[in-house]
Amino acid sequence: MPELFTVVPPDEALKRLFSHIRPGVGTQNVKVNLALGRITAEDTFAPADLPAFSRSTMDGYAVKAADTYGASEAIPAYLKVVGEIPMGKPAGLTLRRGQVAKVHTGGMLAEGADAVVMVENTQVVDETTIEVVRPVAPGENVLHVGDDVKKGHLLLSARHLLRPQDIGGLMGLGITEIAVSSRPRVAILSTGDELVPPDGEVTPGKVRDINTYSLSALTLQAGAIPLSFGLVGDSYDELREAAVRGMEQADMLVISAGSSVSTRDLTAQVISSLGKPGVLVHGVSIRPGKPTILASVEGKPAIGLPGNPVSALVIFDLFVVPTIYRLAGCTTPPLRPSVEARLTHNLASVTGREDYVPVKLETNPEGLLAVPIFGESNLISTMMRADGMARVPLDKGGLSAGETVTVRLF
Ligand code: AMP
Ligand code: MG
C-alpha cells in the first residue's frame, strides 16, 4: 500500500543503510599494473628494504664527512678524486681519508664514504683534485638502506583504494600481483511504460532511456560492474521478476523510477517483497531526489531512485557510489573533489532540506564564481552544461548571491 513519506536527512539515511548491509564481494588476485582503483583485500608488508643499498641523492662526490669539516670558500678542503661510481653497478671503491669518488644521483655510495658533497659546492682543481667549499654532516645527501621502506613493515593496509603512487610503490618493491576485492556487480533496472531503448522508435508519449546508461557509467566510474536488465514496464509482476533476477546475479540492486508513492510507483512494494528487513528509508530530505528508497534484502543493498534523470544521477552519486565502496570493503572512499566558489545568484531552499544545483564555474580576478544553471530543473542538459553541483546545506534556508558555496565537481 502506498504510504506517506517520512523523510530522513541524507546522512542518517546512508547510516541506516550501512548498518544493515553486509560487505564482502569476494577477492581475486590481479596484476599490479592493472590494479588502479581496486581495493586491497589484505595487508601488504614490504618484502625487502627500499633502497636496498645506500644511494646518493645528489650529483657530486662521495666523501668522508670529517674530511670536509671547516671547509669554506676562503679555506676550501682539497680532496683527491680516486674514481667515478658507475650507475647500476656496485661502487667498487673504498675511500681512505682525504679521498672522494664522483657519484651521480641514485648511484651507490663508495665503501668508507658517509656523505655526499653536491657538485655545486665543489671546484675542479685538476684531473684528480677538487676543492670542497662547504662542509657536509655524516649522512647528508645520502639515502640509507630502508630509509624509504623498511623490510617487514606495513606497506599498504587492507581496504585501501589503490592510487597511482601505490602502484608505483608496489612495483618498486617487486610486488607484481596483489589480492583485491572483486568488483561489486550492480544490477540496474529501469522501469516505466514510457521508455524505449536509445535506438528504438520514439512514438508519441515515449521517451528514450537515459538512466540505464548514465547510471551504468557512474557504476563503472566507481569501480563496479553494471549489469543491465533492460527496460521493465510498470507492472508489478514484471518488475518483481526482474528484481529477483537482479538480486541473484548482482551484489546490489538499483531500480530507476517508480520510487514515489502513487499507485503506479511499484518499486517500494517490489523491494519489500524480496526479503527482510526490506525498505529502511523511503523519502530523503534532499532536492532533487526526495522519493528515494534505501533498502536491505538479507544484507544486500537495494536502492530505488527517482526516474528523473537529474535526480537519478544525484541520488546515485550520493548513495549508490558510497555503497559500492562499502561493498568492496573500502572504509575510506576517496574524498570527493570539491571547490569553494562565490555564488553569482541567490539559491532558494528550505531549512531542513539539502539542495543540489548544477553550476558552471568561472574564474575571475577574485577567484572562482559559481553560476547556477537555472531554467527548468531536472533536465539532463543542465547536468551536461554544469561543472559540478552546488550544495545548499541542510540547515540553510537558501544562499545569497556573493556567499561562498561548496561545489562538488563531477
Ligand atoms: P518516475 O520516477 O517514475 O515518476 O519518473 C519521473 C520522470 O522521469 C518521468 O518523466 C519519467 O518519464 C522519467 N524517467 C523515468 N525513467 C527514465 C529513464 N530511464 N530515462 C529517462 N527518463 C526517465
Ligand atoms: Mg514512472
Residue 308 near ligand 1, beta carbon < 6 Å: yes
Domain coverage including residue 107? 55-143
Q: How far is CA 170 from the centre of its chain?
A: 18
Q: How many CA atoms lie within 13 A of 73 on its CB side?
A: 1
User: Does a structural domain hold residue 262?
Assistant: yes
* Residue 79 belongs to domain with CATH number: 2.170.190.11
Ligand nearest to the CA of 308: 1
Among 269, 303, 327, the domain-final residue is 327
Co-location of 66 and 164 in the same domain: no
Does one domain contain both 122 and 258? no
Q: Is 162 in the pocket of ligand 1 (CB under 6 A)?
A: no
- Determine, yes or no, domain membership for 318: yes
Chain segment 90-131, per-residue pLDDT in tens: 999 999 999 999 999 999 999 999 999 999 999 999 999 999
Q: Is 309 touching ligand 1 by the criterion CB < 6 Å?
A: yes
Q: What is the largest CA-CA distance in the chain?
A: 96
Distance from residue 131's CA to the centre of ligand 2 (Å): 83
Q: Specify whether 310 is located in the same domain as 400.
A: no
The confidence score (pLDDT) of residue 3 equals: 56
**Cis status of the peptide bond prior to 51, with omega within 30 of 0:** yes
| 335 Cα: distance to centroid of ligand 2 (angstroms) | 33
Asked if residue 211 belongs to a domain, the reply is: yes
Per-residue b or e along 224-236, where b marks 16 or more CB atoms closer than 10 Å to that residue's CB: bbbbbbebbebee
Residues in the chain where the model's pLDDT stays below 70: 1-4
CATH of residue 270: 3.40.980.10
- Ligand 1 atom 5 nearest Cα: 307
**Is 252 in the same domain as 348?**
no
Q: Is residue 170 part of a domain?
A: yes
Backbone angles phi, psi at 132, to 5 degrees: -105, 125
14 found inside a domain: yes
Same domain, 392 and 380: yes
- Ligand 1: residue of 209, 211, 262 to mutate (most ligand atoms within 8 A of CB) is 211
What is the distance in A from the centroid of ligand 2 to the CA of 301?
21
Residues 135 and 205 in one domain: no
Residue 51 DSSP class: S
Find out whether the beta carbon of 257 lies less than 6 Å from any atom of ligand 1: yes
At residue 1, the pLDDT reads 44
Angle at 74 between CA 68 and CA 77, to 5 degrees: 25
Residue 405 belongs to domain with CATH number? 2.40.340.10
- Do 237 and 315 sit in the same domain of this protein? yes
Return the residue matching grid coordinates 533498502: 295
**169 and 191 housed in the same domain:** no
| pLDDT computed for residue 84 by the predictor | 97
SS3 content of the chain, % helix, strand, coil (to 5): 20, 35, 45
Is residue 152 a part of any domain in this protein? no
Rounded Cα distance between 237 and 188, Å, is 17
Distance of CA 93 from the midpoint of ligand 2 (Å):
79
Together in a domain, 124 and 36: no
Q: Are 280 and 6 in contact, with CB atoms under 8 Å apart?
A: no
Q: Which-ligand-closest: CA of 211?
A: 1
- Give me the pLDDT at residue 331, please: 76
- The Cα 157–Cα 164 span in angstroms is 16
Pairing relation of β-strands 99-103 and 77-84? parallel
Q: Which of 189, 202, 206, 207 to mutate to test the pocket of ligand 1 (most atoms within 8 A of CB)?
A: 207
**Count of the separate structural domains present in the chain:** 4
Q: Are residues 232 and 315 in the same domain?
A: yes
Q: Are residues 44 and 61 in the same domain?
A: no
Ligand showing the shortest atom-to-Cα distance for residue 193? 2
In a domain, 256, yes or no: yes
- Peptide bond between residue 47 and the one before it cis (omega within 30 degrees of 0): no
**What is the 309 CA–ligand 1 centroid distance (Å)?**
7
Supply the CATH number for residue 175's domain. 3.90.105.10
Residues 250 and 323 in one domain: yes
* Residue 281 domain-assigned (yes or no): yes
